[in-house]
Structure 1
Amino acid sequence: MQLLFPPHAGARAGHVLWAVFALHALLGAALGLSVDEAHYLLYAAHPALSYFDHPPLVGWVQWPLVALQAPVAVLRLLPGLLWLATVWGVYRLTLRIFAPNPMAPQAALAAVWVLALAPLLHILGIGLLPDTLLMALTVALLWQTWTLVQSPTAGTLGNWLVLGVLLGLAGLSKYTAVFTAVAVGGCLLAVHGVAVLRKPRLWAALALAMLMVVPVAVWNAQNGWISFTYQVAHGKGSVWQAQHVLRFVLTQLLAYGPLLLLGWVGWRRSTGPVVWLLLFFGLPFALFTYLSGGGSSLPHWTAPAWVALAPFAGWGVTTWWQAGRRWAVCALVAMQALACVALLGLMLSAGWPLVAGSAAAVAPPPNPFADLHGWQAAGARAQALAAQQQLDSVAVQNWTLASRLGWYARPLPVHVLDSGDSQFRLWAADLPVGGNTLLVDWSHMAYDLPVAPHGFASCTLLETQQASHWGMPLASFRFYDCRGWSGAPQPRLTLAPTS
């Protein structure tokens, strides 16, 4: 019992938090940027009121460091600090909502362990995504909601205005923050009733939140409401299928670990207004699970919801421990610790020893960890070849290939040679008809060479560059000097079916 629940829970929680933060910092210095990380760093390199696929906060918070040309290792301290603040906030929140029960310190420490052993949350602690911001803001909103729930008079004006600021920041971080806002409203209505709607302070908080998200509305009005059109289409997905839901639920279990499922145990053993805080988990998770039936939900979208469940999970772990189910708790802890070590180790090793390397020029064996290595060298080589061939841009055939080149080959603009909308089209526009560019192809997402009639008049292979890690070949980049763009793109994966 002393191992998981020592007498000084606060000191042990601090040790866990700083140890994980140090681990995140070390891995952040060793790993290359992911697709999304580079994309959001480019937000910071192109300051704007908002962006095509997300609100602007993820770019705004990185702008000072990007403007100072901070290295990636320093840039990644920001998500590490946000992870630290999120989990420490959960610790403090758990203490607060379960006080004065003498088991509250143990539940708070257990909540820290539950989050520290959730594999996917480590990724969000290394790379800054909008979900990293929304996790921290969700904890702050839980804290402020509990403040207003506890107050017999529904809080002071200052407390309501703090709530408005937090809601505004959440809205600037991700569009799905609207579900968190609904959870806040549900808690307040459940505890205070409809009388809360007659309070001017509530409407002042909402007005402040709406004022803070005005930049998103202004940008969209200037760009044909493109973000909202994209988000609606993205959320709808394709034909709804139950097997997609099953796959999503299983992925969630693997990504966050069964320890968090003990939140159900903790919730059932809670009483009073605290039970309504489950809305912060239940509302977004239920919606994302439903949307997964159309194939449109991604695993990290639910991260803020799981963080909101952590106080209940900590309470559930503690009650199991006190009830004599220590073997079950220890088994789950060991299993999730092994999963975390395996995931982070495979990221660092680029899949070795479980995934074999390959030097194939086109479509090598699948390796999801190869994506984190080789792009910095490819970006530097693209800069050199573009200068050598007197080309003033880089081009790719899919937007997911653009973000790392856009970051590592700065200031060269990146053109995406397809007909779909993307942020890169707003930044660099379409490659003009008759234009020339340096085309880059990556073996793990190789495309047919885009030549006439739906492509360039000519493309000359300049060089093939191998990407390797720890002596293991991972992928290859091919660089082409392409001339005379037709303006009629039809990108086609090299190994795509012919029918």
Structure 2
Amino acid sequence: MLWLVFLLHAVWGAVLGLSVDEAHYLLYAAHPALSYFDHPPLVGWVQMPLVALNAPVAVLRLVPGLCWLLTVWGVHRLTLRMWAGHAKSNQAALAAVMALALAPLLHVLGIGLLPDTLLMLLTVALMHQTWTLMQPGAMHRSAPWWVMGGLLGLAGLAKYTAVFTAVAIALCLVRAHGWRLFRVPALWGGMALAALLISPVLVWNAQNGWISFAYQLAHGKGSVWQAVHVLRFLLTQAVVFGPLWWWAVVGWHSAPQAMRSLVGLFAVPFVIFAYMAGGGTALPHWTAPAWVALTPFAGMGLALAWQGRMRAVLKGLGVLQAVVCLALLGLMGSAGWPLVPRSDAAVAPQPNPFADLHGWDEAGARASALAAQHGLSRVAVQNWTLASRLGWYARPLPVFVLEEGDSQFQLWSGPLPAGEGALLVDWSHMAYDPPVGAQGFATCQLLESLPVQHIGMPLARFRFYDCRGWAGATPQPRLTLAPISRN
């Protein structure tokens, strides 16, 4: 069954265009560096060989597919290991696999490579190693500590939030062995290895004014904290990961005391992200590694509940989650049809969360052609979220982000030089007025409006402008409020 899901991910990966984050991390791979503005470098490093070979998107997306497959396999092995000797260990391992396979959001991470895709896999490996080090006598063996240090270093290279997992692991090991743990020399050797592995991030930040840490701290603070945001976050989590994981409570109560602390690898990150959601800063997929850590407990809970009337309930929930998974994949492939009405408006079309998965490859190719025709050597956009797909599909043209504020594109391209021109690209789902005036370009001439159709129906439009004479001062981007000509 897992190979069939992997094949489904591969097919969808070949059909769908890159998301904004995927393209951003592929650009990491195209610009090798010790680290990057908004994330550590591992998500770019692992894609460097394929990007260097100019592999197509369908091949690039085999990387997250394999990560998903290895994550599920690792959870199966971990569940068998944790519950070894229990009468229902095999059923628990199978149920854990089903919980993962029926979680809608995990399929998105199995198609597109994000830092969380890597951290899910590393979280499973870290749980294996934590369980090893919690066993009597393991504390005084050197090899497990070196493995733990290596895994923690890789996790730190994957995402900054791996520090929450590291805290949970420390709590587990202290509970298992007490404070004498910190007198073990091999522990400090493993931590030295972890520090060595994450040193590229530290070196890069030291060279760039600690810009990543300043950005992450500001991003984590969010805005005014509101309980309603937390409730919305929890409801979203229940939908995108599914209720089958709720049986982890049953599994946790059935676990021996020595095992129960492992639930901290779920609880610590999840509670922190739920609190951050109150300030409006937590995204649904950030908790994916935490849910993966909960799966062995959910598997046992489901195995114990698989009897009597509860079996019918679990079957019903499983079918419901499967329908949600297929519906999500279907909406991604159809760009929201039939639930999201199509719109041919040039500006402010019908809101559609699936629209940005389609048409950017066409826009990138057209941008390259128009830039060559009009003697323009660069592309410009007015919001950084519009930059990554163009940066990928129109490469090697550099992309300049005209709005104020730090971003990775500012580090790659710098500010647009005064007096220069650029091909300005606008997208109808985030349309801006051309920045013409004392702060902006001297002139912007509309060259072309490119309609995007999917399954024969209108979805969006791209506008391409020949803009000349940049003033060197960045204006505040103005969202377009009125429709414009489609010519």
TM-score (norm 1): 0.95
1:494 aligns with 2:480: yes
1:58 aligns with 2:53: no
Query: Deviations along 1:318-373, whole A, 9 cap, x unmatched?
Result: 11113641011011101101100100000011111111111111010001111100
1:482 aligns with 2:467: yes
SS in 2 for 1:440: strand
1:366 aligns with 2:332: no
Match of 1:345 among 330, 335, 338: 330
Query: Alignment length, in residue pairs?
Result: 481
Is this contact kept in 1: 2:132–2:138, CA < 8 A? no
Match of 2:148 among 155, 163, 174: 163
179-188 or 42-51, which moves further after superposition? Answer: 179-188
Q: 1-side partners of 2:113 and 2:140: how far apart?
A: 33
Q: 2-side partners of 1:267 and 1:46: how far apart?
A: 45
Q: 1-side partners of 2:318 and 2:138: how far apart?
A: 42
Q: 2-side partners of 1:61 and 1:402: how far apart?
A: 22
1:211 aligns with 2:160: no
How does 1:52-451 map onto structure 2 within 5 Å?
Answer: 52-322=37-307, 324-451=309-436
Is this contact kept in 1: 2:138–2:144, CA < 8 A? no
1:30 aligns with 2:46: no
Structure 2: which amino acid aligns with 1:253? Answer: A
Is this contact kept in 2: 1:436–1:483, CA < 8 A? yes
Q: 2-side partners of 1:264 and 1:449: how far apart?
A: 55
Structure 2: which amino acid aligns with 1:20? Answer: V
Structure 2: which amino acid aligns with 1:494? Answer: T
Q: 2-side partners of 1:123 and 1:485: how far apart?
A: 40
SS in 2 for 1:481: strand
5+ residue gaps, structure 2, are 483-487
Superposed displacement of residue 454, structure 1: 2.3
1:3 maps to: none
SS in 2 for 1:485: coil
1:465 maps to: 450
Q: 1-side partners of 2:121 and 2:141: how far apart?
A: 23
The 4+ residue runs of structure 1 with deviation greater than 6 A are none
Superposed displacement of residue 265, structure 1: 1.7
Structure 2: which amino acid aligns with 1:365? Answer: Q
Give RMSD over aligned pairs.
1.0
1:4 maps to: none
Is this contact kept in 2: 1:120–1:300, CA < 8 A? yes
5+ residue gaps, structure 1, are 1-15
Query: Deviations along 1:154-204, whole A, 9 cap, x unmatched?
Result: 152111100000000000000000011111111100111111111011111
SS in 2 for 1:412: coil
Q: 2-side partners of 1:136 and 1:402: how far apart?
A: 29
Q: 2-side partners of 1:268 and 1:208: how far apart?
A: 36
Q: 1-side partners of 2:158 and 2:111: how far apart?
A: 17
Query: Deviations along 1:69-97, whole A, 9 cap, x unmatched?
Result: 00000000000000000010000000000
Structure 2: which amino acid aligns with 1:418? Answer: E
Q: 1-side partners of 2:45 and 2:64: how far apart?
A: 14
SS in 2 for 1:444: coil
Structure 2: which amino acid aligns with 1:136? Answer: L
Is this contact kept in 2: 1:457–1:483, CA < 8 A? yes
Identity of counterpart residues, as a percentage?
A: 68
Superposed displacement of residue 492, structure 1: 1.8
Query: Deviations along 1:222-253, whole A, 9 cap, x unmatched?
Result: 10100000000000000101111111111111
Q: 2-side partners of 1:390 and 1:114: how far apart?
A: 54
Q: 2-side partners of 1:322 and 1:392: how far apart?
A: 67
Q: Do the aligned partners of residues 323 and 181 (structure 1) sit closer, same or farther apart at CA in structure 2, a change above 3 Å counting? A: farther
Is this contact kept in 1: 2:248–2:297, CA < 8 A? yes
Superposed displacement of residue 17, structure 1: 1.2
Is this contact kept in 2: 1:147–1:155, CA < 8 A? no
TM-score (norm 2): 0.98
2:485 maps to: none
Is this contact kept in 2: 1:168–1:213, CA < 8 A? yes
Q: 1-side partners of 2:384 and 2:292: how far apart?
A: 30
SS in 2 for 1:79: helix
SS in 2 for 1:294: coil
Q: 2-side partners of 1:178 and 1:343: how far apart?
A: 31
Q: 1-side partners of 2:76 and 2:3: how far apart?
A: 14
2:437 maps to: 452
Q: 2-side partners of 1:81 and 1:468: how far apart?
A: 31
SS in 2 for 1:113: helix
